[in-house]
Amino acid sequence: MTSAAFDVLGIGNAIVDVITRADDAFLAAHALTKGSMMLIDEARAEALYAAMGPGIEVSGGSCGNTMAGIASFGGKGAYVGKVKQDQLGGVFGHDLKSIGVSFDTPQASSGPSTARCLIMVTPDAQRTMNTYLGACTGLGPDDIDPRLVSAAQVTYVEGYLWDAPEAKKAVLKAFDAAHAAGRLVSITLSDSFCVGRYRDEFRALIRDQVDILFGNEAEITSLYEVDSFDKALEATRKEAKIAALTRSEKGSVVIKGGETHAVPAAPVSKIVDTTGAGDLYAAGFLFGFTRGKPLAECARLGGIAAAEIISHVGARPETPLKDLI
């Protein structure tokens, strides 16, 4: 690849997480499906917040977490996402810029407030996410600067953006700009329910445009509507250029044409909160990839980042990832 100002440009829903501990009874009482991400409106967000326990606020958003991971490895990243000009919007911006991620998307001055994700962490370390998209719905094609896109080796986006129609258009504009500049594009499937909502569009995108695909076992089996990981792997191999598929404690499998690299998970002494595991896997993988590492090494770096993130509450690294490799 030709030299680039940025390793990765991330486009995502700019969200502040509000993390609390909850038990299974709380999930049941509020009709929450453990392990999933559910979209909620403002009224529901307020009602659920009033019902839940004390929280900690920490910047999140799947792609934001990935960009924080890339920066923590020492990579150079830029981010595009929409917050409002409010306190939580200020927090989100600070937390990216203070680690060296370039973030210049104009803040919304009116309309809904900065997005929040109410995350319940159960004693089994699973997370259940309830996202109020708020200002994220204001992200659109005008927020994509083709010069920024062409300055990044890889443009990486979250499937979650399909939940905001204008944001999807922004992604498609960015993909075109990236390819026009000879750059690569990458997407994460985000969530098996998200795959259910946009299966056909995602499959077409993977066939026609995506250079690097990320997904976990539930997402990829949902995408190809098959009942086993092996079947999903072969279906993916026919349609994707490069795919990095994660399997929790079983590690990950990377495929590229006829190549298959199965890489074990990195050891974790205690799993505390699985929020952000996939986001950080993508960070490690893309950090390695943009440095020209072999695919198996990219997967190993992804595993190291995922192991760090699930060892504590919150989806941004506590230990500098560059110290772990």
**Judged by CB, which is closer to its own copies: 3, or 98?**
98
Distance CA 258, CA 14 (A): 37
Q: Which is nearer to its own copies, 87 or 260 (CB)?
A: 87
Q: CB-wise, 86 or 145, nearer to its own copies?
A: 86
Phi-psi region of 182 (alpha: psi -120 to 50; beta: other; left: phi over 0): left
Place of tokens 């994660």: 246
Please report how close the Cβ of residue 275 comes to its own copies at its closest, in angstroms. 13
Helices and strands (H and E) in the chain: how many? 11, 14
Tell me how many degrees the CA angle 247-252-255 measures, rounded to the nearest 5: 125
Residue 207 DSSP one-character state: H
Question: Please, what is the minimum distance in Å from the beta carbon of residue 265 to its own copies?
Answer: 25
Q: How far is the CB of 280 from its own copies (least distance, A)?
A: 15
CB of 84: closest distance to its own copies in angstroms?
10
Between 49 and 224, whose beta carbon lies closer to its own copies?
49
Of 251 and 314, nearer to its own copies (C-beta) is 314
Region from 217-225, 276-284, 303-311, 313-321 binding its own copies, contact rule CB under 8 A: 313-321
Residues 26-85 that bind its own copies (CB under 8 A): 49-50, 52-59, 68
Q: How far is the CB of 283 from its own copies (least distance, A)?
A: 15
How many other C-beta atoms can be found within 10 angstroms of the C-beta atom of residue 200?
Answer: 7
Strand segments, DSSP code E, in the chain are: 6-11, 15-21, 37-39, 56-59, 77-80, 102-103, 115-121, 127-132, 152-158, 184-188, 212-216, 242-246, 252-256, 259-263
Instruction: List the interface residues with its own copies, window 95-134 (CB under 8 A).
Output: 95-96, 98-99, 113
Cα separation, 49 vs 252, in Å, equals: 35
Residues that bind its own copies (CB under 8 A): 21, 49-50, 52-59, 68, 86-88, 91, 94-96, 98-99, 113, 314, 316, 318
